[in-house]
Chain A
Amino acid sequence: MKSTIARSWWWKITALVLLFYTYYEGFLGEVPRMPILNETIRNLYFHVTMWMAMLVLMICNAFYGIIYLNKSDLHFDLVAEESGRMAMIFGIAGLITGMVWANYTWGAPWVNDPQLNGTAASLLVYAAYFILRNALPDSTKRARLAAVYGIFAFVMMIVFIMVLPKMSDSLHPGKGGNPGFNKYDLDANMRMVFYPAVIGWTLLGVWMMSLRVRFRKMELKNEDQQ
């Protein structure tokens, strides 16, 4: 991330193209008619993809935490912090798109569902992560403690998001006998939009994160000069 890839333009163009394709096909493309879901199935491209982007940014956060602990270079801490921030933003976006959707399909914006609880928990974890960061004035110590907490939290969240929902029924489409878009009935048409959408949103998240990192670096430089 340090220099060349973050600065190069090709993946940013890819992100824009893929997102344009997502919006175009997402609103105008063919989707299967399903009971209960109806046209809201299009939310797959705008809601589920948020989780994927959030997950990738969470992985970035833990990964750069590990790298920081090994290399002790504050640049990696900055990347980890900004990944955490972006993960939170995508988490909130996913929660809002999900709540709007749930209001029309389940009849309530919040229901007791393992996936919803998992998201609420991850948001709380990242809120705690930033509280920890704010409590520490010294930058190297802050980086070290935040990395330790971030790695630990990431593993716990993976258990919460990936393992626990598999052990109980969910209201989510395709689970617990609900009609939906699991791997058996997600049709080829939708897949052609879904996978590019995942990649597009993820790239957008990484792009936003790398911009934040550059901005923060300029801020730090400015402080040093004054």
Chain B
Amino acid sequence: MKVVLKQYFHLVNHELRLEFNNQHALMSLLVYSLATIFIAYISYRQSLDPITWNALFWIIMLFAATNAIARSFIQESKGLQLFHYTFMNPSVVILAKTTYNVLLLSFLGVINLVAFSLFFSLDINDFGQFILGLLLGSFGLSAVLTLVSGIVSKAHNQSALVAILGFPLLFPLLITIIKFSGNAIRGVEWTLNQPNFFLLIALNSIIVALSFLLFPYLWRD
């Protein structure tokens, strides 16, 4: 157990350091998100009603997530990959990658929210619930896309495949998250939003459990 934890923290730490050493990758993700938001802004040129606002925000989040996570297995060198898969437990590798991507996407999500609110002003009635939804949504998006990019990394890294394989899997998550944050924007009582909250928790747990179980089979070459 201790070894596993040690491996886990080592890998998360490694990913974070990689990101800090290579800041232009993070910059490119930010610019991608901001450019998408700006395209939405010049296409609409008016304030949005809450439903459109919510849908557009999550679509932009979806594209930002795909773009950010598609590279998570690609950027590593072959030698380093070999090292990890020789000495590390594959389940730990996927958990560490997922953790790192969750952190990354939560960060991107907050930046997206700030930029999006700047261009499209909207009164979010229950801000706490919305942030909770943003974090849970980022968690689910990154967990699914991490496993998918793991699959795609074995398919000669055709990065377009991440979107093709990932989007259909994300439908249940997106529907629930859009419902949840829509309720938060309208400011409904917590008790009414609770079923969606528990469904999101359940979905996220299922996704993580499945990645944990299935990922080792991807590394059998």
A: which residues have CB within 8 A of B?
Answer: 69, 117, 121, 124-125, 127-128, 131-132, 135-136, 141, 144-145, 147-149, 151-153, 155-156, 159-160, 163-164, 167
Contact = CB atoms under 8 A, between A and B. Distances in A.
Contacts, number: 73
A151 B155 contact: no
16 contacts: A69-B217, A117-B175, A121-B172, A127-B168, A135-B155, A135-B156, A135-B161, A141-B221, A148-B214, A149-B165, A152-B147, A152-B214, A155-B210, A156-B169, A164-B172, A167-B199
B115 interface: no
A128 B168 contact: yes
Interface-centre pick from A121, A147, A159 (highest chain B CB count, 10 A): A159
If over half of B's interface residues share one DSSP class (helix, strand or loop), that class is named, otherwise mixed; here it is helix
B151 interface: yes
B176 interface: yes
Given A136-B155, A153-B168, A160-B172, 11 more contacts: A69-B217, A117-B175, A131-B161, A141-B221, A144-B217, A148-B218, A151-B210, A152-B210, A156-B169, A156-B172, A164-B172
Please give me the 3 A-B residue pairs with the lowest Cβ-Cβ distance, nearest first.
A124-B168, A160-B172, A125-B168
Interface in B181-221: 195-196, 199, 203, 206, 210, 214, 217-218, 220-221
Contacts of B214: 148, 151-152
A121 B168 contact: yes
B154 interface: yes
Contact of B218 (A124, A135, A145): A145
Nearest to B210: A152
Contacts of A132: 151, 155, 161, 165
Nearest to B218: A148
Interface centre among B151, B176, B195 (most CB of A within 10 A): B151
Contacts of B81: none
A128 B164 contact: yes
Interface residues of B, number: 29
A168 B89 CA distance: 41
A191 to B, nearest CB: 31
B133 to A, nearest CB: 16
A49 B175 CA distance: 26
Nearest to B176: A164
Nearest to A168: B179
A151 B147 CA distance: 12
A121 B155 CA distance: 23
Interface in B60-94: none
Interface in B161-177: 161, 164-165, 167-169, 171-172, 175-176
Contacts of A141: 154, 221
B161 A163 contact: no
A124 B164 CA distance: 9
B173 to A, nearest CB: 8
Interface in B39-71: none
A156 B214 CA distance: 14
A121 B167 CA distance: 9
A174 to B, nearest CB: 21
Contacts of A145: 151, 154-155, 218
Given A164-B175, A167-B199, A147 B161 contact: no
A144 B171 contact: no
Nearest to B150: A148
Contacts of A136: 154-155
A139 B203 CA distance: 32
Contacts of B125: none
A164 B175 CA distance: 9
B158 interface: yes
A135 B218 CA distance: 16
B206 A155 contact: yes
Contacts of B161: 131-132, 135
B168 A167 contact: no
A179 B145 CA distance: 41
A148 B151 contact: yes
B168 A144 contact: no
